[in-house]
Structure 1
Amino acid sequence: MSIDKTTIINWALTDIGAGPMFSVDDDSDLAMQIANTWGRTVDHVFGMHDWTFLCVTARLRRLADPLDNGWKYAYDLPSPRLSNPLAYRCGPRRSDHVIRDFTLEQDKFCCMEPQAWAVYKTYKDPDYWDPAFRSAFVVALAGYLAIPVWQDDNLQNEKLQQAFGTPSQQGTGGMIGRLMAQDKASRPVGEESLLSEDPLTSVRPTGATRHVPWHGSW
């Protein structure tokens, strides 16, 4: 069975006792509020963390003529995307040199490198979401729907705490917080980490190879 926006919304509505009442063909005021709540929840939850299942690495298309701003090359930024790219590199691998000297203008990426790749987040349909993320998102959406559907502050607080943790945890607790920690821990570490390109940790003795971090090399 395909899992789409309507399915997720109706799961969330069922979670707060309203039942599967949403349809994309419904033009009522409540249906519009529910659809708007969906959009705001997607923006919030997707923006909280650089979810790996949303990340894409793609080569940027270089413009034939650079912008008149002093940079040698200009590239189109990837589209569609959820935000500005997370990183720019000279190649597609995590171990490739990170481009740090650049500017963004007119939705273009400008730098001095003849080739560029970007790592960015893009929207994916619920069918492609990680199952654990999908489950946590339903709880978060249920919390945000408690007000337009039932005008119930207590129900909203209960669901949002289940999804995000207590207010003091500032979104790092609950189901979403645990998933963020797991997602972060699942990423590659070591030489291919972006940390190896950090100017504070990439200092190395004369003669060392480019991608070997200095710490532990003495």
Structure 2
Amino acid sequence: MTSTPDAILEDVDIVNRALARIGAPPVMALDDDDDFARAAQLIYLTDVEAALGRLRWRFASRTLPLSRLSAAPVSGWRHAYELPGGALGLPEHYLTDPRQPRNHLRNFSIEAGEVHCDADRLFARCTVMVAPTYWPPEFRRAIIIGLASAFCVPVTHDVTLAEKLRQEAYGDPREGGVGGLLGRAIANEIASSPPSDDMDESNPLTDARYGGWGF
């Protein structure tokens, strides 16, 4: 299989780079009718979702419109909106005007997959799954090495190598999965992020280190 330039990276390219790291042959597609390909796809999705849930990554953020339900909620608010499908965890912010991303909706409640508020229209800033093409290099490498660790035992039966790769990707177990290469990616993201105008916002590094959101 020929190498794929980073400009058009797909899910299968990340999996194959992880397999190459442990000397395993590539897979042709993750939706093949093959037990290993199906397992690799599930492992890939699980690891990427977990890594994206560690921080409010700018490359994985998207503003989505929320659909307003026809019936007024019994909670006392004027309107109820459906939480967006495809988002990882609860939205970071709710907005009444997507052109003013710093003007967050402050008064609302969440009930059973719905947002209740008095706003006549509502948008949400969410973390979503994005193609590897848009991942920063540090994040990409962390995922590749993390996947190599996950594939290591079923492919090579080398438990020692699997543990070594996992620590390289995510750090010592005492770091809660945000050390190693992923920890560097988190630090780079925070260092390059513009300061927030909201002084009451939680610190993103503290959130990442101690599971402040996303789980």
TM, length-normalised to structure 1: 0.78
Question: Larger Cα Rg: Structure 1 or Structure 2?
Answer: 1
Cα distance in 2 for partners of 1:76, 1:33 equals 32
d(CA) in 1 for partners of 2:59, 2:17: 22
Identity of aligned residues (%): 32
User: Are positions 1:163 and 2:143 aligned together?
Assistant: no
Query: What's the CA shift string for 1:82-111, capped at 9, x where partnerless?
Result: 221112234333431x33332223422111
The AA in structure 2 aligned to 1:195 is M
**Residue 56 of structure 1 corresponds to which residue in structure 2?**
62
SS in 1 for 2:72: coil
Amino acid at match of 2:185: L
Superposed displacement of residue 78, structure 1: 2.2
Quick one: distance in 1 between partners of 2:17 and 2:106?
43
Alignment partner, residue 205 of structure 2: none
- Report the AA paired with residue 119 of structure 1: R
For the residue of structure 2 that corresponds to 1:194, the secondary structure is coil
Question: Displacement of 1:35 after TM fit?
Answer: 2.3
- CA-based RMSD: 2.3
Gaps of 5+ in 1: 199-218
Between the two proteins, the alignment pairs up a number of residues equal to 195
CA distance in 2, matches of 1:169, 1:21: 32
Matching residue of 1:41: 47
Q: Look up the SS of the partner of 1:56 in the other structure.
A: strand
d(CA) in 2 for partners of 1:21, 1:46: 24
**Please, which moves more after superposition, 104-113 or 19-28?**
19-28
- CA deviation digits over 1:29-70, x for unaligned, max 9? 333332222122122212222211111123434334322321
183, 186, 189: which one pairs with 1:180?
A: 186
Indicate if the aligned counterparts of 1:164 and 1:173 stay in contact, CA closer than 8 A.
yes
TM-score normalized by the length of structure 2: 0.79
For the Cα contact (< 8 Å) 1:9–1:22, is it kept in 2? no
Higher relative contact order (CA 8 A, sep 6+): 2
Query: Quick one: which amino acid aligns to residue 102 of structure 2?
Result: S
Structure 1 position 115, deviation (Å): 3.6
Distance 1:115 1:11 in 2: 44
Partner of 1:89: 95
Residues 95, 123 of structure 2: 8 Å contact kept: yes
